[in-house]
Structure 1
Amino acid sequence: MTTAPEIKLKRFLHFGRETPFYQPVDHLVKSFPQNCLTSVEELIADEKATDAVIHIVKAFSDGYSAHPQYLVYALAWCARQKTSLPLREAAYNAFKTICKSPQNMFLFIKFAKELSAPNSGWGHGWRRVVNDWYLNQEPLQLAECATRYRSMYLWSHKDILKLAHPATEDVAKQAVLKYIVFGLKEAQQEFGDKAAAQPVLQYLQTVEEFKHCKNEEQAARMLEQHHFSLEHVPQHLLKSKEVWTALVPCLPLDVLLKNLKRLARLRFLRGNHVVVARVLDALENQTALEESNVHPAQVLIALRNYELSGKLKYTPPDPSKEVKQLPQPNPKVIEALNTLLESSFKLLVSTGMRYMIVVDTRPQMLTSRCWQCQVQPLQAAALLSLCLVKAERDVMVMAFGFGTPAPVALEKSMSFKQAQDKLKEVPSTTMDLAAPIEWAEKTKKSVDVFIIVTDNHLRGIKVKPIDALKQYRTSLNIPNAKLVVCALSVPEFFVASPEDPGMLDVAGFDGQVPRIIEAFSRGAF
């Protein structure tokens, strides 16, 4: 049995591989191997080429992809391939949907150029969509974009405009394009007497004054007055207490969580520092939480990173400077993060599936670390379990008991700490990956998704997990029953069969793991 190209493509769109294996990475943009999208080649051969773009747009709309680079790379691949003209046209037509943000636009440029033949030009389709991207924005929106994201992935707006040559009759947009390529002085000289260009020229003047401002208090006032973002802040102001005091209330919640470690390193989260009050207000803002769509896993990772920040040492770039011990974490910030973690469970949405999650509770789950983050395996297991218990109607939490899996009574009303303590109470024993599936078959327990969570124990003592799953599907007539194996402390392993669309391996842990499992359970890939 071979895996359908649609399934392989959906896997790639969600986690960057056509095989059923998710490996959390730092999500730095990478280069993909040439044969990473054989699924699209198969769709072209089957005369279903444009279906690839339909899947890309749907994955983007569903919002389950672990990182946009996977979607953007697939779109760029479709746009630059030479086999199917309809696919190329469909990809360029989808550009305005997938690459609406500056980040994704820069990503597309990077990947499209890498996928092009050496010394090849952009072509009409590529130039058209890029020109439309710039010219379809309102002048002030374009000015903000040009100043907020000046360059990414070794490409700048100036580089792109020199290749795309956009032309417009709109005077204000002309002024912004002039600024991007030649700078503010040239834009003011050419458009300073044009009334229509005055708002954007004034905005660009203000941004330039902010970026070159040396007075920290004045910069903070400008940031608050003009609602500048973190990306607008120049490097020399990123160590300013006044600037961060003004900036914290403006940060999206997920961005604030990622910057807590930076604030700790700058020693702005000590005692009753003014930044602390701003951070606490932001973490306790329920409206911001609802708008952010932050997952409990992201909060847990931020919490663990901050809790451990006092045990780390900061090594300055200059070797001659002293290595400093970072300050101990502020108890008020830790308390606010714990409260935020509990609140974030309310954002979870049910999949309607029937789950059995089986947790390894051996001592190693408390002493090791998840690959790619500071979370302990048992903490990750408790979070995965509690997410299901709070979001779903039919969830059975089990632990590997002596001989058979043992039920663990987790309730919807439990806190994360209570769930973690409950799992700690379960006696540890040896485990067999196939045992929970065999137990469910024997007891006639109907399960749509089995989830096994361990640190690195991946043996099937008597029966291989794939064989147990096939037998379960047949015995209980649940042909779409699925199995997810999470080995949290290893970078790589292989339990799932690449040819079985109902199996998934997860190595390590990051903020996207629960969403990947949710998408898999829903049948998104």
Structure 2
Amino acid sequence: MEPSGSTATAGNHTLNSTGDGCPWEMSDKARLCRFLCYGSEGEVYTAREECRLSMESAEALLSLLQEGRGCEVVEEIKRFAQDGRAVRLNPSLFALALCSQHSELKTRQAAFKALKDVCRVPTHLFSFIQYKKELKEGMKCGIWGRALRKAVSDWYNEQDAMSLALAVTKCKQREGWSHQDLLRLSHTKPACETIALISKYVTKGWKEVQVAYADKENSEEVVKVLSYLEVVEKVKHSCDETEVIHLIEEHRLEREQLLTDHLKSKQVWRTLLKEMPLGSMLNILGKMTADRVLEPGSSDMAAVCDRIHNETTLKKAKIHPFSILLASENYKRGQGYRGKTKWEPDSSILKALDSAFYKCFMNVEPVGKRFAVAVDVSTSLSSVVPGTSVSTAVAAAAITMIPSGSTDCTLPITWATENGKAVDVFIILTNNPLWTCTASPVETLKKHRQKSGACSKLVMCGLSSTGHAITDTEDRGLLSICGFDLGAVSVIRSLAQDLI
């Protein structure tokens, strides 16, 4: 195992953002931050695996609530949701639901006040409501008290009218809840005429809206919303491909607003691809090639390739290099993970993805820390990262771009200590299920901290699904990662920045 590193200016820093006492102690606050980040209070992050959320999995959160620190918890939930720290948002929604029914009034009030900041889209709101329902199971009281009714009403009333019109037509229901359910159960009283129009559309339907607004003298905003809803209804009842394409282009309709039959048309897909978010487009390149929507040498293929590696587009979409790597390797595979979809990878798409990979590094903000990345060079790196088409060797190579024998994870730390290299974060990448450590990784890390004066952390990254849970849970400077995905990159970044 050969250590390699990249350095960045790192001034004096202390680890105290989530700790309450000793900087390396796994306090309840630190455990809460890890829960909000990836759904577990423990030191192991498992890529591509949703943790089951329950009262038992949120012990630190409950402990903080019992200590009367509920408002502090809610502020942390807001930070993780708003700043993009959360790899998965469900833990934040679960935590907010838990806070919203805590016995302490000020905690409940803070939770409901934060609803609109944490639940930014309908799917978040539906999940929050479902978590509240699940947490109330077995209790005699229901969830629809005055506070929840007001919070949900405010969520709808404080939306921009056109944004809400898009939201209710794009995502009608999820988690067993619909907009119609929420508007009815919250007894929402629309705050303005445009919200009243959308509310009537959701609860009563388009025909009643047409009758109600046919002979009225409507404001400019109402006319705008009415026109948009009319387009949505028109496309739902249209069998004319040319008309559907025209409506998509003129009103920037999205695929969720179309019928299944519309999506059988190649030309409809070609139209959608022109405005589709880049991240979404990367996920369906294989399907578009398999369905011959993208033909080799066609103008549509050229347009898609131009979008893929356009620097302005990549910057606006904030695409991470690892996302491009995953898309590229999945596309190269020529076959989907589910079903029988197969395709012949197109060289122009592969070339565009390769170009985009390097350009995307402009989207990676330096964390101002000194990293040492060590890669296990044994033959175990020949396997594939679970859930992807990326070999563990390719994944390891990509990770080391931040400027054979048994695996001893202490070697890089010892090397840095003996050579006077102060390292903030050690990242060890391997696919070896067994460790042969000459000394305790925790003690070796502590020695490096003492000698270098750095607040050093250690990330053990098992690129296979096996993982390596060898860290000391009482030292919050250590973290294990099982497998690898874009979330793992975010988790490492948060650890480096003392956020978890």
Q: TM-score, normalised by structure 2?
A: 0.89
> Is residue 370–residue 455 contact of structure 1 (8 Å, CA) maintained in 2?
no
1:446 aligned counterpart, secondary structure: coil
Q: Distance in 1 between matches of 2:151 and 2:287?
A: 38
Q: Distance in 2 between matches of 1:524 and 1:67?
A: 15
CA separation of 1:444/1:506 partners in 2, compared to 1, >3 Å: closer, same or farther?
Answer: same
Q: Distance in 1 between matches of 2:182 and 2:298?
A: 43
Q: CA RMSD in A?
A: 2.0
List gaps (5 residues or longer) in structure 2: 1-21
- Which amino acid letter does the alignment assign opposite residue 471 of structure 1? K
1:18 aligns with 2:41: yes
Alignment of 1:204-353 (within 5 A): 204-310=229-335, 315=339, 326-353=342-369
How far the C-alpha of 1:86 sits from its partner, in A, is 1.4
Aligned to 1:178: 200
Q: How many residues align?
A: 472
- Which amino acid letter does the alignment assign opposite residue 330 of structure 1? D
Picking from 149, 159, 165, the partner of 1:143 is: 165
How far the C-alpha of 1:314 sits from its partner, in A, is 7.5
> Is residue 73–residue 108 contact of structure 1 (8 Å, CA) maintained in 2?
yes
1:39 aligns with 2:60: yes
Alignment of 1:66-465 (within 5 A): 66-81=87-102, 83-118=103-138, 120-168=142-190, 170-196=192-218, 197-310=222-335, 315=339, 326-366=342-382, 368-386=383-401, 388-389=402-403, 428-465=404-441
Partner deviation per Cα, 1:223-266 (whole Å, 9 max, x = no partner): 00111123222222223211111111211111111222331332
- Which amino acid letter does the alignment assign opposite residue 313 of structure 2? A
- Which amino acid letter does the alignment assign opposite residue 430 of structure 1? S
Aligned to 1:50: 71
Q: Distance in 1 between matches of 2:64 and 2:79?
A: 17
Q: Distance in 2 between matches of 1:100 and 1:297?
A: 25
Q: Distance in 1 between matches of 2:437 and 2:163?
A: 60
Aligned to 1:5: 28
- Greater mean deviation of Cα atoms: 504-513 or 135-144: 135-144
1:22 aligned counterpart, secondary structure: strand
Q: Distance in 1 between matches of 2:28 and 2:214?
A: 56
How far the C-alpha of 1:491 sits from its partner, in A, is 4.3
Aligned to 1:392: none
List gaps (5 residues or longer) in structure 1: 316-322, 390-427
1:486 aligns with 2:461: yes
> Is residue 9–residue 39 contact of structure 1 (8 Å, CA) maintained in 2?
yes
Partner deviation per Cα, 1:381-438 (whole Å, 9 max, x = no partner): 111110x21xxxxxxxxxxxxxxxxxxxxxxxxxxxxxxxxxxxxxx33321111112
Report % sequence identity: 30
Q: TM-score, normalised by structure 1?
A: 0.85
- Greater mean deviation of Cα atoms: 134-143 or 357-366: 134-143
Partner deviation per Cα, 1:461-500 (whole Å, 9 max, x = no partner): 321212211222233333x210001001124431122211
Q: Distance in 1 between matches of 2:453 and 2:49?
A: 40
Relative CO higher for 1 or 2, CA cutoff 8 Å, sep ≥ 6?
A: 2
> Is residue 100–residue 133 contact of structure 1 (8 Å, CA) maintained in 2?
no
How far the C-alpha of 1:35 sits from its partner, in A, is 1.4
- Which amino acid letter does the alignment assign opposite residue 479 of structure 2? L
Q: Distance in 1 between matches of 2:88 and 2:468?
A: 22
1:255 aligned counterpart, secondary structure: helix
Aligned to 2:85: 64
1:512 aligned counterpart, secondary structure: helix
> Is residue 309–residue 329 contact of structure 1 (8 Å, CA) maintained in 2?
yes
Q: Distance in 2 between matches of 1:521 and 1:170?
A: 46
How far the C-alpha of 1:169 sits from its partner, in A, is 5.8
- Greater mean deviation of Cα atoms: 492-501 or 216-225: 492-501
Q: Distance in 2 between matches of 1:163 and 1:429?
A: 63
